[in-house]
Chains A and B, each alone.
Chain A
């Protein structure tokens, strides 16, 4: 650990690596990544499938390849790393308390902090699935680590609840590895993940996707013996009489990701109730001066490429703050989600600089028009909650329309998908 730290990055996944490299390139001399796991890369090493980097590198890469590209960049840039080190507290004043085996407790105050803790998977408890509490219920991401890295297969016959991307990708992986996936069960009327995953992970292998269904009961006292799957009504509640029993020895959950913000809360960072991540400005500065955030800790992204770009912005901004301590938070214009828009990031902009807005819709639709006040408009053939939308705003246009106070983002659609 260096004596002085200009920019401390918490988390060494794709967000943390990109932020650290960008901070270093921006001129921060001492950049330190703090990571709780044994190695850099976050979840990328376990994502052995391809589909990464199509935009960032213009290349179809696997998770480990994408990881290696950034780990190499970090090494070349001379970035310090502290592995198997847990940040246990982040103060309002940016003071970090961390702990590891070798150095015990460490306390230091870096020039700026980038939050890059990513997200965690929603677990069974939060779903309230009735039934017993046996072994063999895992989140899809935990299962992915076991199967692809640790070398273990939880079961031989699976039901997967939730059609998020990790769930569908695991449906394919488990099938490829010789297991049977009886069904992927999705409570919503549309799949939770990308269309390419629906086709290449489920259709390719004839894995049934049961839309508007849920797991309504878990059976088995010690180990999972099966699950009851029910159709749901308009309120997403199981419909009596629609039950079907699926024998299985493992239930995988892919039912949503939650930005990991326990440290942010401790630091007094204001969170957005919808994204679950910090409220950030166009430079990805949070409500705490000098604390920046990028990647899935801010909002859950669909593609890692966006995570990298957003985190680079956070890293550059952190370096600028550490250098001059004068990077003020842009707070002039509040970006507000309007019709059929679930959220927009960043939530705060200056109203005079070029900026890209990232948003997700609430419902799918065709013939969409995304309107940002009178400042910008984007037409899209189709929108889905599972796919992030970005829209560029020009500073000039913002100034011309004289935006101040609030800027509402709407998404009108012709009809549902």
Chain B
């Protein structure tokens, strides 16, 4: 039986991060786009804790607590903005916003 090493965890975190980036670029639903940025945050968080365990250092775990705090703050903000969008346009499609842009 092979044991788990640091590279497995870093690979998982990289996969999460890349799925997040791809989702952010390809999807147009604002809530899904926001979830994709959350996915990227969690990818970074997994990298932090696994590296912290590898170096036997607690700062990785401390960092993750702060990442979760910031992610919660961003979630509140994102939901506020999405509600704002929905009230104005009755849709969650990011492309419904087209007031700004090159003339």
Partners in one complex: no
Residue numbers of A with Cβ under 8 A of B are: none
Residue numbers of B with Cβ under 8 A of A are: none
